[in-house]
Structure 1
């Protein structure tokens, strides 16, 4: 009951899995949640290999009842909640003319409203503990990227929401941070949830531009991506530093990339860069 307790969403793989193991290694009682506990084998193996224990629970960020049950269960079993790491999310590949508004809403439900569901349920307990609310966003929450309109819109929304919430939460003792990874060596294709070749074939007049974007992005993931453990180091920084920054990038590349936007007053630098990604 005396150890600090952190709840992490989206821990079946990638950054979430690595962050759960890292937090447990650092001495936190770690509640590792995922939508489908049947997909927890890799998480259990990583914990066993690291010699740490995880409290693995179901939590679907798009289901308010699931979120409430998970948070209530943590409080009932552990007696406190000191930090939340919003990591669950899903990629997307598409462009407005070729998808429905309902498709965009689905992306927002997972990547934006899912964060709000968890954060809202956790905040009373984080206020009680003087805790931390940490959200893994993306460099795509700072720089809009071709064929990622819906995903970037969701991540922009998260960044704006948390930046606005941060000073309010701080007045009540809760520290808010966002962590911005660039390319991370998880599976790009599986993360976007669609077959890129099928998407290109169905892209009509956008096919050539999408082909250029996909080829460039897969090449970046293969050659320049961080490991999930490297990205999780920045998540652990937000969790454990005495005075963590609000915005934390996970690599020098991510710092340079987001820096282009933050000094680009008229937008020409960003559009000059990303325009080259589509041929």
Structure 2
């Protein structure tokens, strides 16, 4: 059998790193990308420990030249896992519009940049696109306005794209974790300075941060999310929506009754049949 190739973005830590290792263990040829390959030590160590190899390449999803160079270097592609992203804590009155644009650039337009570039290769292979979103793409959360807006945008874009992509043989799905124990939270930049600048929002922000610390104390391990991503990579008929934990299902269940996305997909597919 021919080894299938998957490109995974944001693999220096967390879900991306775990998915790269799990996919390699599952027999995939893994193109593990990250903005700065100098940060690949943890991935390389994990690959060595697991007895697998991954192909580490530079990719900044916000840079069109970087995207074009990365895709041009591929011989073929069977799957794309959009994982690269960045959190942001803040609120509209105190954020600049440029702050919000930066969040959208990474979490939304970055996903579109690499997906658009990869689609011709995925059409050729009848491949698939899996995008890691968040329960924050379903339920808006305090002090996550920009982040949730970006994830809502990704969810809507992929849900709308899925039946169109399916018409040319490409499967599209989203992976929705809740709290995950990774470097993601540490990279958000929440510190005493943020609280000191919160002004009239300080009491609400303090309460939110306390609740968030409790949630992440019981966070899902990245390996558990990675296992479900690889399951969807290998599935004959992957789901559109994969909620990765009972907590994620319960949380989004406040808003969703169609938890695997099939009802929406069946409906919109009839619009272009």
* Structure 2 length-normalised TM: 0.92
Q: For residues 199-220 of structure 1, what are the alpha-carbon distances to aligned partners after superposition, in whole Å with 9 as ceiling and x for unaligned? A: 1110100001000001110121
Higher helix share: 1
Asked if structure 2 preserves the Cα contact closer than 8 Å seen for 1:111 and 1:155, the reply is yes
Question: Which residue among 248, 252, 258 is the counterpart of 2:246?
Answer: 252
* Counterpart secondary structure, 2:103: helix
Q: Which runs of 5+ in 1 are unaligned?
A: 264-279
Could you list the per-position Cα deviations for residues 224-278 of structure 1 after superposition, in whole angstroms to 9, with x for gaps in the alignment? 1011101111211221111111000111111111111125xxxxxxxxxxxxxxx
Q: Which residue of 2 aligns with 1:225?
A: 219
RMSD: 1.3
- In the TM superposition, residue 188 of structure 1 has moved relative to its aligned partner by 5.2
Say whether the 8 Å CA contact 2:35–2:58 is kept in structure 1: yes
SS in 2 for 1:147: coil
Matches of 1:55 and 1:70, distance apart in 2: 12
Say whether the 8 Å CA contact 1:196–1:214 is kept in structure 2: no
Check the 8 A contact 1:188/1:221 in 2, yes or no. Answer: no
- Distance in 1, matches of 2:190 and 2:213, equals 13
Distance (Å, rounded) in 2 between the aligned partners of 1:88 and 1:184: 14
From 106, 122, 125, the counterpart of 2:121: 125
Distance in 2, matches of 1:43 and 1:188, equals 16
Q: For 2:93 and 2:183, locate their aligned partners in 1 and report how far apart those are by CA, in whole Å.
A: 26
Match of 2:210 among 209, 215, 218: 215
Name the residue aligned to 1:59: 59
Which residue number in structure 2 is paired with residue 166 of structure 1? 162
